[in-house]
Structure 1
């Protein structure tokens, strides 16, 4: 059982690394692996947490970069919405 368990964890780790390449959050990764690889979210979460412990600096930077991107996207969406509203008001005059 030990070898197969270690191989399974290694597989989950590899799939998590693939999710990171696609800039997924932990939650998005858990959902994707559940849906596409039939891996229970609790397994993905546990392996992810262990990877975070082993690679704290990487995950801190990764999380910060993702948060900054999300903030930028929210700002762009707000600006776009304001521009649309302004354009609509100009058309109605």
Structure 2
């Protein structure tokens, strides 16, 4: 294995480590690709390729991870909808109070 092969392996290992860090922050593959491109100057194609290889090697983990992300997204959407409804209700009741005062 030449020095070029060794440095390529080190680079891929570094990208893998950074992807693992992104996972700790609960990022999606797309978010990770964007973050590594912006902050570590890593080509998104490289990040995507390494991520896909990690998915192949750790199928059960990534299935659970993505299910957790989907559940989290659904909960967040539900929470956002509930907040919007509350804002609308609060707004309509305060405008009703204002009209009652007139």
Structure 1 residue 91 displacement after superposition: 0.9
Distance in structure 1 (CA, Å) of the matches to 2:76 and 2:36: 25
Secondary structure of the 1:9 match is helix
CA distance in 1 between counterparts of 2:41 and 2:92 reads 50
Which 4+ residue blocks in structure 1 deviate beyond 6 angstroms? none
1:75 equivalenced with 2:99 (yes/no): no
Residue ranges of structure 1 left out of the alignment (5+ in a row): none
Tell me the TM-score normalized by structure 1: 0.98
Distance in 2, Cα, partners of 1:18 & 1:90: 46
Q: Distance in 2 between matches of 1:33 and 1:40?
A: 8
- Whether 2:11 is the aligned partner of 1:11: answer no
What's the TM-score, normalizing by structure 2? Answer: 0.90
User: Which of 11, 20, 40 is residue 37 of structure 1 equivalent to?
Assistant: 40
Residue-pair matches, total: 93
Gaps of 5+ in 2: 97-102
How many Å apart are 1:56 and its aligned residue? Answer: 0.2
Q: Which residue of 2 aligns with 1:28?
A: 31
